[in-house]
Structures are given as structure tokens and as C-alpha cells.
Amino acid sequence: MANKTILIIDDSSVMRKIIERALRQVGLETATVLEASNGSEALEVLKTNGTIDLILSDINMPVMDGLEFLRQKTSQGLAKGVPVVMITTEGSEQHVKEALANGAKNYIRKPFTPEQVKERVTPLLAA
């Protein structure tokens, strides 16, 4: 899976690094990783980068949370067809349903292992 570009959205810079490290451990060593610390920043990244292959987003963030990001991304017609996977501590059925209803393809609950990241991310990048 060479030359993939992945956007990681999380208000924690440490968590962004951990997610990036997990991606590199599961076959995405050469991926280009873009970062945003909230949904609003992520929308700006999408407006200026046309070649994103996957978005990994936290839900609970200041400024603009992950669910609002999904709604805004759709309403603004950004990154159409780019799969979004939510990575969140909010692992309740309600939050998952809401994310999936707003266009997310899957979710990963924190804490996670690199293997769990691989299970949920690889099929989306291979598609």
C-alpha cells in the first residue's frame, strides 16, 4: 500500500503520533500523514489537499468535534468517496450509529492495538 495519504484528526498531538506509529507498523510505512487538531482545521486541510485516501478522526474535540466534521464535510462536498474511520473513546452504540449515519465507514475504540487499526483500515485502502 504505497503512496497513500492519510489525514489524522485528533486534538491530542500524542494520540496523532500514536496513530501514525500504528499505521506504519501495519504496512503503511511510506504513507504521507497529514494532521489536524480539530474538525475545522481538517476541513481546511481537505480544501487544499486533493489526494487524501483515508481520514481517521477522533469524535470528542474542541472547536469542532468529529461528528460535526462529518456533517460539514458532506454539506461542503469535500473528500467525496474518501473513507472515514472514527477513533474514539466514545464507543457507545449511539455514538457509533451517529458516526456511521453521517458517513463514517468504521470506528476504532481507544485504547486500540495496531492489529485493530490494521483490521479496520486495510480493507478501506485496498478497495
Residue 90 engages another protein in binding (rule: CB under 8 A): yes
Residue 74 engages another protein in binding (rule: CB under 8 A): no
Among 48, 50, 75, 93, binds another protein (CB under 8 A): 93
Piece of 55-63, 74-82, 100-108, 119-127 that binds another protein (CB under 8 A): 55-63
Which of 12, 49 has the CB closer to another protein?
12
Residue 29 engages another protein in binding (rule: CB under 8 A): no
From the list 65, 72, 66, 58, the residue with the least C-alpha distance to 12 is 58
Q: To the nearest whole angstrom, how small is the minimum distance from the Cβ of residue 117 to another protein? A: 11
Residue 92 engages another protein in binding (rule: CB under 8 A): yes
Which backbone phi and psi does 68 adopt, to 5 degrees?
-65, -35
Residue 8 engages another protein in binding (rule: CB under 8 A): no
Among 21, 36, 51, 102, binds another protein (CB under 8 A): 21
CA 90/CA 43 separation, integer angstroms: 22
Contacts 24+ apart (CB under 8 A), 76-81: 76/43, 78/43, 78/46, 78/47, 79/46, 79/52, 79/55
For the chain, the 3-state helix, strand and coil shares in percent, each to the nearest 5, are 45, 20, 40
Piece of 28-36, 49-57, 69-77, 84-92 that binds another protein (CB under 8 A): 84-92
Look up residue 112 and give its three cell numbers. 486500540
